[in-house]
Each structure stands twice: as structure tokens, then as C-alpha cells.
Amino acid sequence: NCLLASYNGAELIEIQSKKVLYREPIDTKTCIECYKIIEEYGVNGQCYPNNKYVVAKQTPRTDFYAKTMGVEAEYHSPISEYLAQTQSDSSKILINDDSEKLDKIYPVLKSKITSCEVIRSNPEHIDINKKGITKGNACKLIANYYGVTTDDLIGVGDASNDIAMLKAVGFPIAMGNAFENVKSIILNHNPKDTNVILGDT
């Protein structure tokens, strides 16, 4: 009965019992504010009200995500109105689109959505979570649950949304194909131990 921390650490559950131990979603008002910007810039965003996978329209990206994650999409457009009508929150918002489009919207989100963590996790993804919600925070929750410290944990990551986790754990590992800013976290953590950089996956 191990734990699963999902949505970048916004939710922590016991897998076997399905008991929710922790949940810190983005509130409805902020979700709507995010989506008005997403809709203004015409990028693909997805949210998870009541753990549903909600998108505005079907695209190759949404099909790939649904197939990879084993979920079915619900389509609502505009999502800002759907969130207002249902008064839904979301544990996370993910923007998944071409890097050129994200280059334009990312600084806008960073400056306007100050109550959230806004992370460019890779060139085609922007992860949005409530302020303070990171994979590093999830590591602290997991360590507390098992009565250990984060120094006892191993973390493995490749993208920018993994940086908080890698900083939090005692033994951080970056994949061989990780972004350079992620690898630098590892080398600064223990510059003599470069074998923590693993092969490509």
C-alpha cells in the first residue's frame, strides 16, 4: 500500500485504499483567471476538476495524452466558462503546445498568476500549481508519512518540474537525457559524484 503523489505533489493518496491524504488544488477563481489567458493566447490547456481530464477540443496532443495515461477526455469550450458554471477547482493546469506559442504566454502567466507555481517543465509544457505545491513538497509529505527524513529519499528526474524534488532529497539522480538545468542541480549537489547522471531513457 505505497503512496502516489500526483499533479506535481498537489495530491497524495494511498494506492490500495485510494484514501486521499493530502490535496491542495488551484482555487476556482485562479483557474478561471489562468484559462482566460490560455484562451486569449489560443494554446492548448488541460485541467483536472474532480480528477477528470478536461480539454477544450480534440487534437493529436490530447489523443496522445489520453492514450498514454489511460484516460478519456471531456470536451468543454470555453473551459473558463465551464469552470465558472461548475465552480470547479483543479489540482493542476497543464499547457501542452508548440514551444513558440509557449514562449509568448509563459512570461504573461508568470507575471499575472502570482498565486501559483508556473514552471516551464519542458519546451512544450507549462505546469501550473498552487503556490508552494511542488514535487519537493511531496517528498516531505512522503517522508513524514514513513517517519523518515528527506535525506533518506532517492529522487530521479529529467525536467524542470523535477528540480524541487531533486533539491529536497538526499540522493538526487538526473537522467542522461535530462535538461541541462536539471543536471546542474545534481552536479552542484555533489560535484565529485558525476555517476549519478544515468543513461538515456
pLDDT digits (tens, 9 = 90+) for 114-162: 999 999 999 999 999 999 999 999 999 999 999 999 999 999 999 999 9
C-alpha cell at 49: 476538476
**Confidence grade of residue 40 (pLDDT, cut at 50, 70, 90):** very high
Q: Indicate the length of the chain as a whole number.
A: 201
pLDDT interval class at 193 (50, 70, 90): low
Which band of pLDDT confidence, cut at 50, 70 and 90, is reported for residue 194?
A: very low
Average pLDDT over the chain reads: 92
pLDDT score at 137: 95
Torsion of CA 69, 74, 79, 83, to 10 degrees: -100
Q: Report the alpha-carbon distance of residue 77 to residue 188 in Å, rounded.
A: 45
| Close Cβ partners of 80 (under 8 Å, ≥ 6 residues apart) | 32, 35, 36, 39
pLDDT in tens, 98-116: 999 999 999 999 999 999 9
pLDDT in tens, 12-36: 999 999 999 999 999 999 999 999 9
Q: For residue 19, what are the contacts with CB-CB under 8 A and spacing of at least 6?
A: 13
Residue 101 CB burial class (10 angstroms; 0-12, 13-18, ≥19): middle
- Sequence letter at residue 117: E
Q: How far apart are CA 169 and CA 157, in angstroms?
A: 11
130 against 196, higher pLDDT: 130
pLDDT of residue 187: 78
**Residue 67 exposure: Cα atoms within 13 Å on the Cβ side:** 7
Please compute the mean of the pLDDT values over residues 36-60 and round it to a whole number: 96
Q: pLDDT band at residue 94, thresholds of 50, 70 and 90?
A: very high
- Name the residue among 197, 37, 12, 32 with its Cα closest to residue 126: 37
pLDDT of 195 > 50? The answer is: no
CA atoms of 52 and 47, how far apart (whole Å) = 8
Cα angle, residue 24 at apex, residues 21 and 26 outer, rounded to 5°: 155
Percentage of the residues of the chain whose pLDDT score is greater than 70: 94
Instruction: Indicate whether 199 pLDDT > 90.
Output: no
Q: Is the pLDDT of residue 81 over 90?
A: yes
Model pTM score: 0.89
The pLDDT of residue 190 is 60
Q: What is the band of 1 on the pLDDT scale with cuts at 50, 70, 90?
A: confident
